[in-house]
């Protein structure tokens, strides 16, 4: 029998969402075999992430599909309560059926997909004991459209005017890695710029104190230019070749970037934060009572 270490217990807890003591019992029963412990817990219906995370579904997967002619594509996000479920075949099948339906019906938002997939969603929830949601969907069309999927956690669609599918995928990979907020510097809102100015002034209060107004204005202007470059796709240095900006890369290939969509699993969802050390202490204390 393998030694039941704290690290093994923690891994099982992270993979199942169950409490520390329940995971230790399952591992002991399984002789230290974590995969057998998971199978046993699933078979007995012990994996119930809801008791630890409420019904917050902030894990899950991104799905993408590109048309054979490279003129359109669809991207969706489907959420689950645990990453464990997102790796299971039943969940993957639901994501795949959802993306196929969205693509075939040329859907542009999630509402009709949610309605049409409700029965399948309810069946999956009943089987796995976790909340599952189709959160969002986007469709892209254009001269050249391609996508990039980073694992199942980040997905990107890119639309080009000119160029080819390989270039669109290269740019999509860059977007996945660099996460630009905007396509062009001119699209950065005045509110975002003012917010960046305020942050700069606050962080550099000591540096600008006593300096002439024109010097301060120059310093702020430099920071804003850097912010615009960091926030807009066309001004970002290409991840594979920092000597060239993404916009220039497209132009060199005779293309123009029209738009992009980037989905990352769980972004914007407030997730419950567990303190493993505090949970251990609480359960140990409870066991002594």
Q: What is the pLDDT of residues 122-132, one digit of tens each?
A: 999 888 888 89
pLDDT of residue 197: 85
pLDDT of residue 253: 97
Q: Which fold has domain 6-53+272-288?
A: Helicase, Ruva Protein; domain 3 (1.10.8)
Q: Which residue has the higher pLDDT, 283 or 269?
A: 269
**Lowest-confidence segment of 49-53, 61-65, 155-159 by average pLDDT:** 49-53
pLDDT one-digit tens code per residue, 195-220: 888 888 888 888 888 888 888 888 88
What DSSP designation does 47 have? -
Measured in degrees and rounded to the nearest 5, phi and psi for residue 243 equal -75, -10
Q: Which residue has the higher pLDDT, 49 or 109?
A: 109
CATH of domain 59-187+232-264: 3.30.479.20
Measured in degrees and rounded to the nearest 5, phi and psi for residue 78 equal -120, 125
What DSSP designation does 179 have? -
Q: What is the average per-residue pLDDT within 58-79?
A: 96
pLDDT one-digit tens code per residue, 244-265: 999 999 999 999 999 999 999 9
pLDDT of residue 52: 38
Alpha-carbon distance of 176 to 182, in angstroms, equals 13
Task: Give the ranges where 130-258 is alpha helix by DSSP (H).
Answer: 165-178, 190-203, 205-208, 213-231, 246-252
Nearest to 171 by CA among 159, 162, 161, 182: 159
**pLDDT above 90: residue 153:** yes
């Amino acid at each position: 029998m393998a030694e039941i270490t704290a690290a093994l217990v923690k891994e099982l807890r992270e993979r199942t969402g169950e409490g520390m003591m329940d995971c230790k019992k399952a591992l002991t029963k399984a002789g230290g075999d974590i995969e057998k412990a998971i199978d046993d817990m699933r078979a007995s219906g012990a994996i119930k992430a809801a008791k630890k995370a409420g019904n917050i579904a902030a894990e899950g997967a991104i799905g993408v599909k590109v048309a054979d002619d490279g003129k359109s594509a669809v991207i969706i996000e489907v959420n689950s309560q645990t990453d464990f479920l997102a790796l299971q075949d039943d969940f993957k099948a639901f994501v795949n059926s959802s993306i196929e339906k969205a693509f075939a019906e040329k859907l542009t938002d999630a509402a009709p997909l949610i309605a049409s997939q409700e029965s399948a969603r309810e069946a999956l929830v009943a089987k796995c004991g976790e909340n599952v949601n189709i959160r969002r969907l986007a469709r892209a069309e254009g001269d050249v459209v391609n996508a990039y999927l980073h694992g199942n956690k980040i997905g990107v669609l890119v639309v080009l005017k000119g160029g080819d599918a390989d270039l669109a995928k290269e740019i999509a990979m860059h977007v996945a890695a660099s996460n630009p907020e905007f396509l062009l510097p001119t699209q950065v809102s005045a509110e975002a710029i003012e917010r960046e100015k305020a942050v700069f002034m606050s962080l550099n209060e000591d540096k600008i104190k006593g300096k002439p107004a024109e010097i301060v204005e120059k310093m702020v202007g430099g920071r804003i230019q850097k912010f615009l470059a960091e926030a807009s796709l066309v001004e970002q240095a290409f991840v594979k070749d920092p000597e060239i900006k993404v916009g220039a890369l497209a132009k060199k290939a005779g293309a123009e970037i029209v738009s992009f969509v980037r989905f990352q699993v769980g972004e914007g969802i407030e997730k419950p934060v567990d303190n493993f050390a505090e949970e251990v202490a609480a359960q140990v204390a409870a066991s002594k009572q």
